[in-house]
Structure 1
Amino acid sequence: MTSGSPLEPEIGFSRAVRIGPYVSVAGTAPIADDGATAGLGDVYAQSVRFLDIAEQALREAGATLADVIRTRVMLVDITRWREAARAHGERFYQVRPACTFVEVSRFLDPEWLVEFEVDAVVATVDRAPSASQTAAHRALPG
């Protein structure tokens, strides 16, 4: 799955990859639709933007937020973890996946304050992607 990021072909990665019931969403930056950084200076707003992108990637892979089993939240300033946790909690308060918060020294763009990764397991076959989507997922680099 691709999100249209120009970095995907340059780096050689996919926004999300599904193999069987397993879906992994790559570390996702707070990129707005116009390519600019969403929520400048605002960890919460950047977290919400990531969750919007991840939810779309999951949906395209035949999954939902309810299928998420693990999240990783990476921040350049760990003292601001509660801002990211607030956004995380708003989406995952019922799902309650395993979650890890870590501090990193920086991201590719200094305007990015937070990135998330998401792993999901699709438990039901009725939400499986089409055969063409599945073939595309296998063909995309992960």
Structure 2
Amino acid sequence: MGFSRAVRAGAHVAVAGTAPIEDDGATVGPGDGRAQTVRCFDIAERALAEAGASLADVTRTRMMLTDITRWEEAARAHGERFADVRPACTFVEVSRFIDPEWLVEVEVEAVVAGGVGGVGGGEPD
């Protein structure tokens, strides 16, 4: 497919839409929006680290949910990670994801100092 989990361009790091999947491809926490959001942030945090950034550098998050009435589950996980950082955050409802078990995907953007390049595998989530 040809994409990077995260790309760093100078001070900016963008982490692609990140789904709630285990390393073996299984969906984390089917039916549990908070657990799925936690897993998405775990993956995004790892991608940030590979790009020389951390959650403390995050300036924006995008939370995509298949059922916006469940936003509080994702918000709870977001608050656990970003209570002190307080990035700009947007919640949107989408019609579906690649896997119907996924309730949420997240994107994060960060600002740090330094180089350019893609990190992380180009595997679909």
* 1:49-99: CA deviation from partner (whole Å, max 9, x where unpaired): 000000000000000001000000000000000000000000000000000
Correspondence 1:111 to 2:92 = no
Name the CA distance, whole Å, in 2 between partners of 1:22 and 1:30. 24
Given candidates 19, 28, 51, the residue that maps to 1:61 is: 51
- Is contact 2:5–2:118 with CA below 8 Å preserved after alignment? no
Name the CA distance, whole Å, in 1 between partners of 2:94 and 2:25. 23
Aligned residue identity for 1:59: A
In structure 1, the gaps of 5 or more residues are: 1-10
The 5-angstrom pairing of residues 1-142 of structure 1 reads 11-122=1-112, 125=113, 128=114, 134=116, 136-137=117-118
How big is the shift at 1:137? 2.6
SS at match of 1:137: strand
State the TM-score, normalized to the length of structure 1: 0.80
In structure 2, the gaps of 5 or more residues are: none
Name the CA distance, whole Å, in 2 between partners of 1:137 and 1:20. 12
RMSD: 1.8
Aligned residue identity for 1:36: A
State the TM-score, normalized to the length of structure 2: 0.91
How big is the shift at 1:113? 0.4
- Is contact 2:15–2:108 with CA below 8 Å preserved after alignment? yes
How big is the shift at 1:13? 1.2
SS at match of 1:38: coil
Q: Which runs of 4+ in 1 moved over 2 A?
A: none
Aligned residues: 121
- The higher-RCO structure (CA 8 Å, 6+ apart) is 2
